Structures are given as structure tokens and as C-alpha cells.
């Protein structure tokens, strides 16, 4: 079988398991269809210069793919002023197909670190790369509307790519997965300010109460880390909940198996909810940003969301009863929604593979 030129894949390269899940979904889906390698680049730090475009990308790649995360957000460190480090004036020099998959525009509900509304320079750059792209998908309605308002007309709304990971076959156990985030001061990352430490202590206290309550009800509780920063949360939460188990791994399949075993999950990170959805496990999402709300809207389950800035511990206790009574209803609903979007995703993958094959024969 002929090996095609690699896809140059630009994405966020961090310890965040959500980014890894997006990559796993896209790469594995494409490689099931065509025998093609991938070259991975850090979307923020691996600058795509004119020399690299002309002498490397255009000659050695089959396509330029920019995938996943809230990349349509202000970033003063890049020449485009959003999370793609390439001078906007160089976009027109790219001759290989440009493919944009599952992008979003981040917006925290408090202490927004993304600078609010996109700058004019970022808007101009985002519009131009979409105008040049052969495929463009966004992960939520809010991002879709933002692009539409700046004049983009060729983009499509789809679920986050990680939603299409294959669900492993495993038996359910009387187990609940939990997840707490700690990547920003408003969530508890301590940067020398009292507010961050205060938030961390509040979240640890609340999740200890939730975990102990579930353990009293006969559930096994497992902490699933979605970021390397959450290792310290596991250590400190186990001091409050000695029976707590945990999974801290980069292996997405192991994470999927763990979520599939659980009757339901309680999570802060959006991708904890997404992986639960992918395997058909109901969840309660204690959210902190707009993207989680938008995801809940897309799967028609806004009732499963609780703001982390509210008295979420007592609210979660109330929600647990309702979710437990409706587990089968949510499983069936998740499967129905996933089937609808899965067809769109499968067609997207087929289209990408066809474009690459056609480009190779030119």
C-alpha cells in the first residue's frame, strides 16, 4: 500500500488529556481509511515561517491540519494574534489543503484570561484562514456564531472530536468517576494569591463531601486526572478521603475503559464530560466556562450542568438522586445523539481522505 505524505497536524501540546483525546480520535479515524503518517506541531510555539511553508510544508506535506481546543482566542504571543503562530500575510502562500477541525473560542465565566472579544487583527486572520480552508468545523454554536459574524460562511457545527472515540466493551460496576480542575487561579491553582488557595481548599472540601457521601452509599470512587497539575489534587483529596482510588495516565483507552465501567461521573473538566458521553455514561458537569455550557446544549442536556461558582456541593447532592433514577434514560439519549453526530463525523473523515488522495495525484 502506498504511503502518502504526512499530514502536518497543529494542535495544543500540553499534559491535558482532552487534547490527547482529540488527537487520538482524529488520527485513528483517518488512519483507518488511508495509510498516512502524521507530523505533530505545537500550535502556539512552532511558528510556521515563510521558509517553512515554501520549503517544507508545501513540498513534504499532504495537508495542513489545525485541530481541537479553543484556538480561536486572543493570543498576543503569536503573529496571527490567535492560537496559531503564523503571520496572516503568509496564509496565501500555503498550497496544500488547509483543514480546520473542532476549533472553539474560549470564554471563562469569571476572571477571563483570554482578553474577552477577539481583536480586529485576530478576526481578520481567522476569517482569512477559514476562507482558504477546504474544511472548517467548530465545536459549539457560540463559536459558529462568532465566525459567522466576522464573515465566515463555509464552517460547520459538530461535536468535539473526542466524542467519536470508540466506546470499549466492559461491564458496569458500582463505581463513580470524579474530576477536579486546577489549571487556573479561579479553579484553585495557587499563584501566590490567597484567592487561588481559597478556591482550591473549597473544591477539595466539596469533593471530599461528595466522595464520602457516595462511598457511604456503597460506591467506589475513582479520581480521573485530565491534567498533570491534578496530581497534587489526588494526593490532598486522598488525605480527606482515604478510600479514594485514582487513574493518572496519558493512555486515552485506559481512561475510556474507566469511564465505561462507571455508572456515572461528576466532573469539572469539559473533557471528563466528553469522554463520559463518548462511552454512554451519564454525568454531572460542574462547569466554569462557556464551552461546557455549549456542549450541554448540543447534547440537549443542560440540566446536567452546575456552575462551580455556586453552592455546587448541595446542588450536586440533589442532582444525584435525579440522575440515578434516570441512568438508562440518559444512556439511551446519549447513544441517540452520538449516532446523529457520528454520521456527520464519518462523512467528514471520508471527505478529508478523498481530498488528500486527490491532492496526491495532482
Q: Can you give the pLDDT of all 362 residues of the chain as single tens digits? A: 567 899 999 999 877 888 999 999 999 999 999 999 999 999 988 999 999 999 999 999 999 999 988 899 999 899 999 999 999 999 999 999 999 999 999 877 676 656 678 999 999 999 999 999 999 999 999 999 999 999 999 999 999 999 999 888 899 999 999 999 887 777 766 666 667 688 888 999 999 999 999 999 999 999 999 988 888 889 999 999 999 999 999 999 999 999 999 999 999 999 999 999 999 999 999 999 889 999 999 999 999 999 999 999 989 988 888 888 899 999 999 999 999 999 999 999 999 999 998 877 65
Same domain, yes or no, for 80 and 156? yes
Same domain, yes or no, for 191 and 319? yes
Establish if 35 belongs to a structural domain: yes
Same domain, yes or no, for 230 and 272? yes
Retrieve residue 275's grid coordinates: 469522554
Residue 121: closest CA among 88, 170, 147, 90: 88
Domain count of the fold of the chain: 2
SS3 state at 210 = helix
Establish if 135 belongs to a structural domain: yes
Say what the pTM is. Answer: 0.92
CA distance 263 to 118: 40
* pLDDT at residue 149, rounded to an integer: 96
* pLDDT at residue 198, rounded to an integer: 83
Same domain, yes or no, for 39 and 129? yes
Q: At 309, which CATH number? A: 3.40.50.2000
Establish if 309 belongs to a structural domain: yes
Residue 66: closest CA among 129, 119, 141, 114: 129
- Residue 243 has a CB neighbour count (10 Å cut-off) of 11
CA dihedral 44, 126, 49, 354 (to 10 degrees): 100
Amino acid at each position: 500500500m502506498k504511503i502518502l505524505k504526512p499530514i502536518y497536524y497543529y494542535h495544543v501540546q500540553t499534559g491535558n488529556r482532552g487534547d490527547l483525546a482529540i488527537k487520538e480520535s482524529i488520527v485513528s479515524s483517518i488512519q483507518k481509511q488511508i495509510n498516512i503518517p502524521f507530523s505533530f506541531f505545537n500550535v502556539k510555539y512552532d511558528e510556521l515561517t515563510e521558509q517553512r511553508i515554501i520549503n517544507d510544508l508545501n513540498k513534504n506535506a499532504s495537508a495542513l491540519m489545525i485541530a481541537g481546543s479553543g484556538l480561536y482566542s486572543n493570543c498576543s504571543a503569536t503573529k496571527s494574534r490567535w492560537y496559531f503562530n503564523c503571520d496572516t500575510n503568509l496564509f496565501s502562500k500555503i498550497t496544500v489543503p488547509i483543514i480546520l477541525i473542532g476549533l472553539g473560542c474560549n470564554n471563562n465565566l469569571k476572571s477571563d484570561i483570554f482578553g474577552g472579544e477577539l481583536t480586529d487583527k485576530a478576526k481578520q486572520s481567522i476569517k482569512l484562514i477559514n476562507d482558504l480552508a477546504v474544511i472548517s468545523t467548530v465545536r459549539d454554536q457560540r463559536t459558529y456564531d462568532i465566525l459567522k459574524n466576522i464573515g465566515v460562511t463555509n464552517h460547520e457545527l459538530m461535536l468535539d472530536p473526542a466524542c467519536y472515540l470508540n466506546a470499549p466493551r466492559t461491564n458496569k460496576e458500582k463505581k463513580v468517576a470524579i474530576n477536579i480542575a486546577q489549571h487556573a487561579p479561579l479553579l484553585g491553582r495557587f499563584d501566590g494569591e490567597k484567592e487561588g488557595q481559597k478556591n482550591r481548599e473549597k473544591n477539595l472540601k466539596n469533593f471530599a463531601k461528595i466522595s464520602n457521601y457516595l462511598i457511604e452509599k456503597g460506591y467506589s470512587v475513582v479520581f480521573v486526572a485530565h491534567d498533570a497539575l491534578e496530581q497534587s489534587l489526588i494526593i490532598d483529596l486522598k488525605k480527606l478521603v482515604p478510600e479514594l482510588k485514582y487513574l493518572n495516565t496519558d493512555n486515552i483507552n485506559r481512561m475510556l475503559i474507566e469511564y465505561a465501567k462507571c455508572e456515572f461521573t461528576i466532573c469539572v473538566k469539559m473533557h471528563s464530560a466528553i469522554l463520559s458521553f463518548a462511552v454512554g455514561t451519564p454525568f454531572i458537569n460542574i462547569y466554569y466556562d462557556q464551552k461546557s455550557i455549549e456542549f450541554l446544549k448540543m447534547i440537549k442536556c443542560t440540566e446536567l450542568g452546575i456552575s462551580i461558582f455556586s453552592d455546587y456541593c448541595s446542588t450536586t447532592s440533589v442532582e444525584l438522586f435525579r440522575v440515578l433514577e434516570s441512568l438508562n434514560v440518559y444512556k439511551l439519549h446519549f447513544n441517540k445523539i452520538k449516532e446523529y453526530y457520528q454520521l456527520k463525523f464519518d462523512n467528514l473523515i471520508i471527505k478529508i481522505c478523498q481530498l488528500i488522495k486527490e491532492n496526491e495525484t495532482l
